[in-house]
């Protein structure tokens, strides 16, 4: 079908090298993280100031310089790589707030930045107004947008920026915001119970007493979030050396490598290690082919983490657990021959029709449920989890049938990624049924699965993603590779094989 062999020496050595590089970054105190940098979090840490012996200073002037370098000609921070409308709004609003704060207090800001700051603010304000006007609020699935955007707009209005601006989606946004905050009380954050709200403390400025939140820190951070930690450090009345040390570490050791840019989450070791290993194992690599000291140590760390956290974990140590990271960890360990029970995951995250990603989730995640399904299907006693398995399958099929267009999931903005996970988990389901490990599907459910898989693959054949995106191409190819074995595709298998070959050849010549 293609000239690419998973056991090709170059592919195998490349996979091992990737694991070794990832493991080299592991740090016993902060663990690791190599997520790409985020303008939003960079803007927040650029607003941290500190009083030292010779006066007040911006703590990270290089972060503000980075923001200036990333502003587009139209005044926004939404370059071609910005993944969605709401991300552009996040980036532009937070950066505009930083520009205004630096205008009010130049402190140690570079002279060239101050000379040009009025023009930058004017352009950023105009761009933000345009973005808000064009924003389809109802179609947005980004996690937390319904509290983050209103909070940013309130802060900007308090600074007399966009004072009377109204936009068509504002009514819907206000309704979503009210519904979300109706369940919130400051006491929820003052308690020691873990909450995903800690990841975005900046949205509670003016609503909570930040002096009562220090117990949520882990290695200086508030839930591994640079933006949240920056907001905490800005608004606590007593300087927190641990929080400062965390932010300095993220600036130095994160993907920005000292440039001032920071990611949206750090550390993110469990997330990065499980997703990397899962991708390689799903592609056909075996434990022996990935065998090296780094792989053994990484797997041992993940197994220890799952055990230490009583069978569930989050995206990094000491952070609240979620079903997605837990499921991926279970999948990796099971495919590598280790035991990993899903019982705790079921107890914590199962609802009546699907699995919640985390405890306070507003809307369910299609991709997280695909990963949970894979974790259940990876068990040796798979029939024990039949009820949960068929509940998830029903949820996924209904979710697909109720969406006229592509599946847009809040954890990955590529609809091809959601399609890939659906095909992968459903093929695993059919494999377990063929082996006799699960009871046969009802006629209705079998028909729904066949139609879902057929539509996914047919769309993957017809849809031509941007030629600039090898990621999108890879998802499409993997969808076709995993589904081509099904009997329902025998009449178009030659066409599928041709598309796979041509897209693999193209990707090999355009590696990012």
Mean of the pLDDT values across residues 79-102? 88
Instruction: Measure the N-to-C terminal CA separation of the chain; round to a whole number of Å.
Output: 24
Asked if the model's pLDDT at residue 473 lies above 60, the reply is yes
Q: Round to whole Å and give the CA distance between 265 and 36.
A: 9
Q: Last residue of a domain, which of 253, 279, 304? A: 253
What stretches of 109-237 show up as alpha helix (H) in DSSP? 111-115, 117-134, 145-158, 170-181, 186-190, 226-235
How far apart (Å, rounded) are the C-alpha atoms in residues 68 and 339?
Answer: 50
Tell me: do 319 and 365 sit in the same domain.
no
The pLDDT confidence band at residue 396, using thresholds 50, 70 and 90, is very high
Q: CA 414, CA 14: separation in Å to the nearest integer?
A: 25
Do 283 and 244 reside in the same domain of the chain? Answer: no
| pLDDT confidence bin for 510, thresholds 50/70/90 | low
Q: Confirm whether 461 is domain-assigned.
A: yes
d(CA 71, CA 386): 52
Q: Does a structural domain hold residue 9?
A: yes
Which single residue is written with the structure tokens 């267009």? 405
Which of 253, 276, 295 is the C-terminal boundary of a domain?
253
- State whether 294 and 418 are in the same domain: no
Looking at the fold, whether 27 and 43 belong to one and the same domain comes out as: no
Would you put residue 55 in left (φ > 0), alpha (ψ -120 to 50) or beta? left
pLDDT at 231 over 80: yes
Instruction: Write down which residue in 253, 280, 304 finishes a domain.
Output: 253
Token pair for 441: 């599907």
Task: Supply the range of the domain harboring residue 450.
Answer: 354-512
Count CA atoms within 13 Å of residue 511 on its CB side: 2
The answer to whether 156 and 96 have CB atoms below 8 angstroms apart is yes
- What's the average model confidence in pLDDT over 445-449? 92
Give the residue, 510 or 422, on which the prediction is more confident.
Answer: 422
Q: Evaluate whether residue 67 is within a structural domain.
A: yes
The count of domains in the chain is 3
Claim to verify: residue 362 and residue 287 sit in the same structural domain:
no
In angstroms, rounded to a whole number, what is the distance separating the alpha carbons of residues 157 and 122?
A: 15
pLDDT recorded at residue 298: 93
Select from 364, 273, 371 the least CA-distant residue to 315: 273
What confidence score (pLDDT) does residue 265 get?
93
pLDDT one-digit tens code per residue, 110-123: 888 888 999 999 99
Rounded Cα distance, 320 and 270, in Å:
12
% of the chain at pLDDT higher than 90: 64
Quickly list H helices, 159-311.
170-181, 186-190, 226-235, 241-253, 269-283, 293-308
Residues 130 and 238 in one domain: yes
Average pLDDT for residues 14-38, to the nearest whole number?
A: 84
Distance of alpha carbon 26 from alpha carbon 368, whole angstroms? 26
Q: How far apart are CA 501 and CA 467, in angstroms?
A: 16
b/e code 266-282 from CB counts within 10 Å (16+ = b): bbbbbbbbbbbbbbbbb
CB 374 within 8 A of CB 428: yes
Percent above pLDDT 70 for the chain: 94
Residue where the block lists tokens 């352009």: 123
- Residue in 180, 245, 193 with CA at minimum distance from that of residue 48: 245
Residue 7 banded pLDDT, cuts 50, 70, 90 = low
**Which of 185-189, 214-218, 438-442, 504-508 shows the lowest mean pLDDT across its residues?**
504-508
Same domain, yes or no: 115 and 218: yes
- Interaxial angle between packed helices 117-134 and 85-104, expressed in degrees from 0 to 180 and rounded to the nearest 10: 150
Residue 3: pLDDT band (50, 70, 90) is very low
Average pLDDT over residues 468-482: 84
Residue 258 lies in a domain: no
Place of tokens 């990270």: 60
Cis? peptide before 140, omega within 30° of 0: no
The reported pLDDT for the residue numbered 287 is 84
Average pLDDT value for residue range 267-273: 91
Q: How far apart are CA 471 and CA 354, in angstroms?
A: 28
Q: What pLDDT, on the 0 to 100 scale, is given for residue 2?
A: 43
Across the range 119-147, mean pLDDT stands at: 94
337/443 same-domain check: no
Whole-number pLDDT of residue 160: 94
In this prediction, residue 4 carries a pLDDT of: 45
Q: What is the mean pLDDT of residues 403-423?
A: 81
- CA 437 – CA 384 distance, rounded (Å): 10
Q: In whole angstroms, give the CA distance from residue 194 to residue 6.
A: 42
CA distance 347 to 388: 11
Structure tokens at 173: 């946004």
**What angle do helix axes 293-308 and 269-283 make, rounded to 10 degrees?**
120
413 confidence band (pLDDT: 50, 70, 90): confident
**480 & 425 share domain:** yes
Check residue 137 and give its pLDDT: 95
What pLDDT shows up at residue 200? 94
Q: Are 167 and 131 in contact (CB under 8 A)?
A: no
From CA 59, how far away is CA 51, in angstroms rounded? 9
Q: Are residues 104 and 221 in the same domain?
A: yes
Say whether both 377 and 323 belong to one domain.
no
pLDDT band at 29 (very low <50, low <70, confident <90, very high): low
CA distances from 125 to 68, 69, 275, 451 (A): 15, 17, 38, 47
The pLDDT of residue 467 is: 60
In a domain, 360, yes or no: yes
CATH, residue 175: 1.50.10.160
* pLDDT at residue 435 greater than cutoff 60: yes
CB atoms within 10 A of CB 62: 18
User: What is d(CA 36, CA 43) in angstroms, rounded to the nearest whole number?
Assistant: 15
Give a yes or no: residue 26 inside a domain. Answer: yes
How does residue 31 score in pLDDT terms, banded at 50, 70 and 90?
low
Computed over every residue of the chain, the mean pLDDT equals 90
- 61 and 16 both lie in a single domain: no
Q: For residue range 288-332, what is the model confidence (pLDDT) as tens digits?
A: 899 899 999 999 999 999 999 999 999 988 788 999 999 999 999
């Amino acid at each position: 079908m293609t000239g690419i062999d998973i056991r090709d020496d170059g592919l195998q050595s490349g996979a091992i090298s990737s694991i070794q590089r990832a493991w080299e970054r592991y740090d016993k105190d902060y663990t690791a993280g190599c997520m790409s940098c985020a303008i939003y979090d960079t803007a927040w840490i650029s607003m941290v100031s500190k009083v030292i012996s010779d006066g007040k200073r911006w703590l990270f002037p290089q972060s503000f310089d980075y923001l200036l370098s990333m502003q587009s000609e139209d005044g926004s921070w939404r370059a071609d790589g910005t993944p969605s409308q709401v991300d552009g709004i996040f980036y532009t609003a937070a950066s505009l707030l930083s520009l205004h704060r630096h205008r009010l207090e130049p402190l140690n800001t570079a002279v060239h930045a101050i000379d040009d700051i009025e023009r930058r603010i004017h352009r950023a304000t105009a761009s933000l107004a345009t973005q808000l006007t064009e924003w389809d609020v109802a179609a947005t699935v980004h996690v937390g947008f319904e509290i983050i955007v209103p909070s940013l707009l309130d802060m900007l209005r308090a600074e007399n920026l966009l004072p009377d601006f109204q936009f068509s989606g504002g009514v819907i946004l206000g309704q979503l915001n009210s519904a979300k905050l109706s369940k919130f009380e400051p006491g929820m954050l003052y308690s020691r119970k873990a909450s995903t709200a800690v990841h975005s403390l900046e949205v509670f400025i003016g609503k909570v007493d930040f002096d009562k939140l220090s117990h949520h820190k882990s290695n200086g951070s508030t839930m591994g979030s640079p933006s949240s930690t920056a907001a905490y450090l800005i608004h606590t009345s007593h300087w927190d050396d641990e929080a400062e040390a965390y932010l300095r570490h993220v600036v130095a050791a994160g993907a920005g490598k000292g440039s001032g840019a920071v990611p949206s989450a750090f550390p993110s070791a469990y997330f990065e290690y499980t997703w990397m290993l899962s991708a390689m194992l799903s592609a056909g690599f075996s434990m022996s082919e990935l065998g090296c000291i780094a792989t053994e140590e990484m797997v041992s760390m993940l197994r220890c983490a799952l055990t230490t956290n009583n069978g569930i974990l989050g995206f990094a140590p000491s952070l609240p657990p979620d079903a997605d990271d837990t499921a991926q960890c279970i999948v990796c360990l099971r495919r590598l021959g280790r035991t990993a029970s899903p019982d705790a995951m079921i107890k914590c995250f199962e609802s009546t029709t699907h699995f919640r990603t985390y405890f306070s989730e507003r809307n369910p995640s299609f991709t997280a449920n695909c990963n949970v399904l894979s974790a259940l299907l990876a068990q040796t006693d798979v029939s024990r989890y039949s009820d949960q398995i068929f509940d998830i399958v029903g949820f996924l099929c209904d979710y697909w049938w109720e969406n006229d267009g592509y599946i847009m999931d809040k954890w990955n903005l590529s609809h091809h990624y959601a399609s890939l996970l659906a095909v992968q988990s459903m093929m695993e389901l059919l494999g377990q049924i063929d082996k006799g490990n699960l009871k046969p599907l009802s006629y209705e459910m079998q028909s729904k699965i066949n139609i879902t898989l057929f539509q996914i693959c047919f769309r993957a054949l017809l849809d031509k993603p941007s030629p600039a995106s090898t990621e999108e191409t890879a998802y499409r190819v993997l969808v076709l590779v995993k589904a081509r074995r099904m009997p329902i595709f025998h009449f178009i298998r030659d066409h599928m094989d041709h598309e796979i070959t041509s897209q693999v050849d193209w990707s090999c010549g355009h590696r990012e």
